[in-house]
Amino acid sequence: MTASKEQFLNNPLGKDTTLEDVLDAFEFLDDWEERYAYIIDLGKQLPGFPDDERVEENYVHGCQSQVWLIHRYDEDSGKLFLLIDSDAMIVRGLAAIILVALNAKTPRELLATDIDELFEQLDLFRHISPTRGNGLRAMVGKIRDIAAAEAA
């Protein structure tokens, strides 16, 4: 079964869980344990991902773990909806942060979002190995490509 319209539209990330929520929460996280516990919790908010979408064309290359990404452009609202899946918990959490910032936006809004600035605000890269940083960039890159194609 492929993902239904509802699965895309009901994704809480970027809708119920907003960027302000995440930024506020991060301010109160002092050490790495709290920070990662929060990231792991965010990952648990990722909606289910259809098994049959775990295919090569949806695979995000450049990550150490397996990552899949699918999207749906909603004609009614003009917004782009995203679903991400990974087998690693921390990657799921980082994907959730990306979705909080980029999901349920019009392609133009999405392309205007400075994700690097967000990562800097969250002080994420300092705590993430370059290998994992590359994985994050690969995810963001694929999302931006999708948005650019939809905006064209």
Partner 1 sequence: MTDLSVANNTQSMAFDVQAIRRDFPILHQEINGKPLVYLDNGASAQKPQAVLDAMDRYYREMHSNVHRGAHTLGDRATAAFEGSRETVREFLNAPSTREIIWTRGTTEAINLVANGLAPRLKAGDEILVSHMEHHANIVPWQMVAERTGARVVPIQVTPQGELDLDSFNSLLNERTRVLAITHVSNVLGTVNPIAPLIEQAKKQGVLTLVDGAQAVPHFQPDVQALGCDFYVFSSHKLFGPTGIGVLYGRAELLEEMPPYQGGGEMIERVSFERTTWNVLPYKFEAGTPAIAEAVGLGAAIDYLNSLDRKAMEAAENALLRQANELVETVPGMEIIGTAKQKVPVMSFKIAGLHPSDIGTLLDQQGIAIRTGHHCAMPLMDFYGVPGTARASFAFYNTLEEVEKLFTGLQKIQRLFA
Q: Which residues in this chain contact partner 1 in the complex, by CB under 8 A?
A: 32-33, 36-37, 40, 64-66, 87-91, 127-129, 132
Respond yes or no: is residue 8 known to be catalytic: no
- Least distance between partner 1 and beta carbon 81 (Å): 26
Q: Break the chain down into helix, strand, coil percent, rounded to 5.
A: 55, 15, 30
Three-class secondary structure of residue 139 per DSSP: helix
Of 94, 95, 34, 35, which Cα lies nearest the Cα of 69?
Answer: 95
Q: Which of 22, 63, 82, 115 is catalytic?
A: 63
Token pair, residue 106, equals: 């019009």
- Least distance between partner 1 and beta carbon 99 (Å): 19
Residue closer to partner 1, measured from CB, 97 or 147: 97
- Least distance between partner 1 and beta carbon 88 (Å): 4
Encoded amino acid at 2, one letter: T
Catalytic residue set: 63
